[in-house]
Amino acid sequence: MNDPTGEAAMTHFKLLIDGALTDGARTMDVINPATGEAFETCPVADEAQLDAAVAAAVAAFPAWSALPIGERAARIAALADALQARADAFARLLTAEQGKPGNQAKMEVIGAVFTLRAFAAMRLEPHVIRDDDKARIIEVRRPLGVVGAILPWNFPVILLMNKLAPALLAGNTLVAKPAPTTPLTTLLFGTLCAEILPPGVVNIICDENDLGGALSAHPGIAKVSFTGSTATGKKVMQAAAATLKRITLELGGNDAAIILDDADPIETARKIFQGAMANAGQVCIAIKRAYVPEAIYDVFCEELARLATAAVVDDGAKQGAQIGPVQNAAQYERLKTLLDESAREGKVIAGGAALDRPGFFIAPTIVRDVTDDARIVREEQFGPVLPVLSYTDLDDAVARANASEFGLGGSVWGTDLDRATDIALRLQSGTAWVNQHMALSPTVPFRGAKQSGVGGELGLEGLHEYTQAMIVNVARG
Ligand code: NAD
């Protein structure tokens, strides 16, 4: 986008700093992944604006944390109402910047509304540890201070709420930083925060992938809540170490689905396809490997290939699109390289290449006869690509599923629920599902095992992560 007036800093999207909707130090283009073209500009903060955002959050903390929790909950519920009232506008903007089909964008926005409401209904009650004639010992939950929220580009709306709602309810204030390629829905949400919250309680800055380190190291920030890749999560942990900040890291995954021999191959293949291809596979808890008994391997693979070939891949803004583009050029290039390798390491039975059209479209791809050491199996693809592996021995399949540095989710599929649950209990992951995958709820804790994360989000435990537990120990008699 050229700038004939020279007013590069002017854009109708604004940062939110200390309650004021503010221009950035400069602007950047935001690309629509369905076209590969810029469709908007976005304000970009410099380090001074990051400092101003943190200072505003520090200044807002005493009054916000002193409010009764019910009053904070009422503001969070008001944010939910405002987001719901504008759900269609948010969904359209989400599709434009992220790429997902309109119905999935609407589901994300409505999911975000539910998340806000679910946390607005939670409370932090004191926990009585001992209460007798010698002592009364209680544990209370205090807010931490300023929370830095750093977000990825796959679910920019709902992942923001997973952090913002518990952080605010507990009495913290917030500085949020969206991913550089999906900043606009976060900025639009900032306009609701500006109307509903006291100045400084929520601040939003955008960057060009250059302020995350400063945010993670900032002495004014008490906790960093990060969702993104494992590699960046390690940098956050390092940066946070200097001031021993609290951290929550929601990182990458390489979820395995183990299909048991009593599963219906056609019905299960359909569900596995959904679990692998939702959001064009760009889900931390997408199914990224499927282990299938040899006896049903061929029919299972054929059904997956049929579904992949039949799927409507198109601009998410078009009616009927089932799979949109991948979100950004870097991910698109990475996937093309991965697909080239896959063609050498296995048998591609559907897709296998980018679509010959503008935008970042990858054909839904199924790869069979591939070994566990292929890159497409070892690494998270984060795209519409599923490797399918066969097994003859169930213990061996479990061992192969667990042979990963990741441990986010996993699933087991079969008709004997007790047997499937026994196998699910053997998975080394934060969540194991039976006959479903990706089922999350704001009231159920979610966390990653191994290198998929530190700490967790959602549920009462997720709320507790935004607090300091404090013991009050009163002697009696
Ligand atoms: P990313 O790690 O590249 O970026 C995430 C965020 O970190 C962005 O806002 C980025 O600007 C910021 N960042 C960059 N450098 C930083 C630094 N040095 N310090 C602090 N922040 C920095 O991840 P991505 O590519 O945006 O997202 C995809 C990844 O996120 C995948 O690995 C996916 O599995 C993971 N993810 C995990 C979950 C979960 O809940 N576990 C959810 C969604 C996505």
* Residue 130 counted as domain residue: yes
Could you tell me if 198 and 79 are in contact, meaning their C-beta atoms sit under 8 angstroms apart?
no
Question: In this predicted structure, what is the pLDDT of residue 10?
Answer: 55
Give the chain's domain count.
2
The whole domain housing 352 covers 255-441
Of 40, 97, 250, 380, the active-site residue reads 250
Q: Is 172 in the same domain as 295?
A: no
- 380 pocket-lining for ligand 1 (C-beta < 6 Å): yes
Statement to judge: residues 160 and 237 lie in one domain: yes
What is the DSSP-derived secondary structure letter of residue 230?
Answer: H
On whether both 105 and 93 belong to a single domain, the answer is yes
Q: In the numeric block, which tokens belong to residue 50?
A: 């990051």
Instruction: Report how far ligand 1's centroid is from the alpha carbon of 228 (Å).
Output: 2
Are 14 and 105 contained in the same domain?
A: yes
128 by Cβ neighbours in 10 Å (0-12 / 13-18 / 19+) ranks as: exposed
> Which CATH number belongs to the domain containing residue 382 in this structure?
3.40.309.10
- Assign residue 12 the CATH number of its domain: 3.40.605.10
pTM of this structure: 0.96
pLDDT at 319: 96
Quick one: 293 and 145 in the same domain?
no
Same domain, 397 and 467: no
Give domain status of residue 3, yes or no. Answer: no
In a domain, 447, yes or no: no
Q: How would DSSP label each residue in 302-356?
A: HHHHHHHHHS-B--TTSTT--B---S-HHHHHHHHHHHHHHHHHSEEEE--SB-S
Task: Kindly state whether residues 17 and 73 are assigned to the same domain.
Answer: yes
Residue 416: closest CA among 428, 436, 434: 434
| Residue 250 a catalytic site member | yes
Residue with CA closest to ligand 1 atom 8: 179
Residue 222 lies in a domain: yes
Query: 152: CA distance to ligand 1 center in Å?
Result: 5
Same domain, 303 and 434: yes
Measure 428 CA to ligand 1 centroid, in angstroms: 22
Average pLDDT per 10 consecutive residues for the chain, totaling 477 residues: 44 94 98 98 98 99 98 98 98 98 98 98 97 97 98 98 98 98 98 98 98 98 98 98 97 98 98 98 98 98 98 98 98 97 95 98 98 96 98 98 98 98 98 98 98 98 98 94
Looking at the structure, do residues 247 and 310 belong to the same domain, yes or no? no
Please indicate, yes or no, whether residues 67 and 187 belong to a single structural domain of this protein. Answer: yes
User: Which amino acid would we find at residue 261?
Assistant: D
